[in-house]
Amino acid sequence: MRFVSYEFLLLLAVALVLYYTACRKCQWQLLLAASAVFYARSGALHLLFITATVASTFLASMAMAKRERKRERRLPFALCLVFNIGILAFFKYSPLAFPLGLSFYTLQTMGYLIDCYRARPGVKPALSNPFKLALFTSFFPQLTQGPISRFGELKDTLYARHELKADDFTEGLLRVALGLFKKLVIAERLMPLLGIQGGFAGWCVSSLLYAVTIYCDFTGGLDIAIGVARMFGIRLSENFDRPFYAKSVSEYWRRWHMTMGSWFRDYIFYPMSLWKPVLRLSKVKALGKRAPVWVATTVTWLATGLWHGATWNFVLWGLLNGLVILVSQELTPFYKKFGKKYPKLSESKVFSAFRVVRTFLLVAAIRSLDLLTLASGKKGLLSLPVSALIVLVAAVLLLVIGEHRMRKLQNPAARMGASLSLFLLTLVFGAYGAGYDVASFIYTRF
C-alpha cells in the first residue's frame, strides 16, 4: 500500500475514527491491526519476514532478559543479529522482490536488540508482550521510510492512551499537507527528468535537480509519516532540520536523515571507535592518534552505503562522504587559524553563505553518484512546459519562504487553514492521476 493512494486515505480515516471512538481502550492494538493491514496489502509473503524479525528479536530479548551477565547474553544476541542482518543482506543482493521497509524495520529492531543486550535504561526489562514489539517494529506511518525510532524514546508515546487534541491533530494534518505538497507538486514533477545530462553543465543541473527532488520526496514522505503519527497523538522523532542550511558535510549529516545518522553513530561508530583492537591502532606511530576515528568513520560510512544499496555507487557514495568528513576534521586546525587571522570575514554572513553553498554543492556532487544507475540523456528541465516550470519555481519558493513559518504555527485554526490551502494547491497542481504514475517514495526502496 502506498502513502499516496486512496486506499491509504481510507485506512487512515477508518483507523482515526475507531482510535478516538470505539477503540479508546485498545488504541495500540488498533494501530497494530492497521499496521498489519497496511503491510499485508503490499504482499502477504513479506509478512513472513517481518514476523520472523519480530519473533526472533522477541525470543532473543526474552533470553537476554533472563541473563544478568553481558557475556551470557552474547549468544542469543549474536544469533538474532546475524539472522536479521542476514535477511537484509540476502535481499540486498538478491533479485527477489524486496520486502517493504525491510531496511528500516531491521535497523529499528536491531537497535532494540542492541539496547536489550546492553541493558540500557528504559529498555530493561525488555518487552514481555510480543505484540507490543510487533507494533514498535511495524508501526505503519514509519514502516516504509522512517524515522528510525529508538525504543526508549518511543515507548511512552506509542502505547499510551491518547485523547483527541486539536493541537496534535492540526499539527499532524499540516505535516501531512506539507508532505503531499512536496511529493506531488515538486518531486513527482521532477522525477522524469532525473538522469545525467551531457557535459559539465548538464551534470551540474542534474545534480541540483536530484538534490531538490530527493529532498522533496524524502522529507515529503517523512512529513506524512510524522504527521499521520501525530494525528494519533504519537510523536515520532524529526528526521530533517533544514539540511541545506548546513555549513559543512558533517553538519549536513547531523541535519539530514538524522535518525539514521544517530543510529549508525550509536550502534557502529561509537562501539567501533571504543573497541580495544581499534583503540590500539592509535599507538601505532605510522598511523597516528586519529587512526581509530579513521577506521570507525570508514566502517560506519561503508555500512551506511551498503544499507542504502548493494551496488558499487552506494558504497562509493558512503566512502566519499566519510572521506570528506575525515578530511574536513583533519583540516580543523587550519580553519581555526583562518578564523583567528580573519575574524571579521570568518564570522561574516557572506562567508556563512559561501559555506552553505559550498556544502550544498559538495553534497549534491557526491549524491549525483545515484544518478549513474539511471539512463543518461533524459529530458532536461527546459523540456517541461512553461506552466509547469512556473509551478515548480513557485512551489519551491513557497517551501523556502513558508515551510519553516508554517511548521511554527501555534494556533490550531491557523494550522487548519494552512493545511487546507496546501491540500487545495496539491489537488490542483499536483502531478498525479491520469497520465501520471505516482512513484513510490525513493526511500521506500530501502
**What are 424's three cell numbers?**
487545495
Q: How far apart are CB 129 and other proteins at their closest, in Å?
A: 28
Task: Give the CA distances from residue 171 to residues 156, 179, 231, 320, 359, in Å, rounded to whole numbers and listed in that order.
Answer: 20, 12, 8, 38, 31
Q: Sign (positive/negative) of CA torsion 254, 100, 115, 30?
A: positive
Pairwise CA distance, residues 88 & 168, whole Å: 35
Q: How many CB atoms are located within 10 Å of the residue 365 CB?
A: 16
Using the structure block, give the residue that is written with the C-alpha cell 493545511: 419
Is residue 385 a contact point for other proteins (CB under 8 A)? yes
Nearest distance in Å: CB 26, other proteins? 28
208 vs 303, beta carbon nearer other proteins: 303
Q: Give the 3-state secondary structure of residue 36.
A: helix
DSSP bridge pairs for 121: 124
Which span (14-22, 52-60, 274-282, 309-317) binds other proteins, by CB under 8 A?
A: 309-317
Judged by CB under 8 A, the number of residues near other proteins is 65
In the complex, minimum distance from the CB of residue 259 to other proteins, in angstroms, rounded to a whole number: 19
Q: Residues 55, 114, 119, 310: which binds other proteins (CB under 8 A)?
A: 310
> Residue 427 phi/psi, 5° resolution?
-60, -40
Measured from the CB atom, is 168 or 217 closer to other proteins?
A: 217
183 DSSP 8-state letter: I
Contact with other proteins (CB under 8 A) among 23, 114, 119, 306 = 306
Q: How far is the CB of 5 from other proteins (least distance, A)?
A: 10
Angle in degrees, 0-180, between the axes of helices 332-341 and 312-330, rounded to the nearest 10: 50
DSSP-assigned beta bridge partners for residue 124: 121
Chosen residue from 14, 22, 160, 413 binding other proteins by CB under 8 A: 413
Q: Which is nearer to other proteins, 92 or 132 (CB)?
A: 92
- State whether the Cα torsion 265-269-271-274 is positive or negative: negative
Q: Which residue has the cell 555500512?
A: 303
- Of positions 8, 98, 203, 338, contacts other proteins by CB under 8 A: 98
- Residues in Cβ contact with 78 at an 8 Å cutoff, skipping those fewer than 6 apart: none
Q: Give the nearest distance from C-beta 42 to other proteins in angstroms.
A: 11
Binding track, positions 66-95, relative to other proteins; x by CB under 8 A: -----x--xx--xx-xx--xx--xx-xxxx
| Binding map of other proteins across residues 193-232, x = CB under 8 A, - = no contact | -x------------------xx--x---------------
Q: What are phi and psi of 121, to 5 degrees?
A: -60, 140
Peptide bond just before 147 cis, omega within 30 deg:
yes
277 binds other proteins (CB under 8 A): no
- Output 26 or 389, the one with its CB closest to other proteins: 389
- Stretch of residues binding other proteins (CB under 8 A), selected from 18-26, 110-118, 233-241, 437-445: 437-445
Q: Which are the contacts of 335, defined by CB distance < 8 A and separation ≥ 6?
A: none
Cell numbers 544476541 correspond to 77
Residues of the shown chain interacting with other proteins in the complex, contacts defined by CB under 8 A = 6, 71, 74-75, 78-79, 81-82, 85-86, 89-90, 92-98, 188, 191-192, 194, 213-214, 217, 302-303, 306, 308-315, 370, 373-374, 385, 387-388, 412-413, 416-417, 420, 423-424, 427-430, 433-440, 442, 445-446
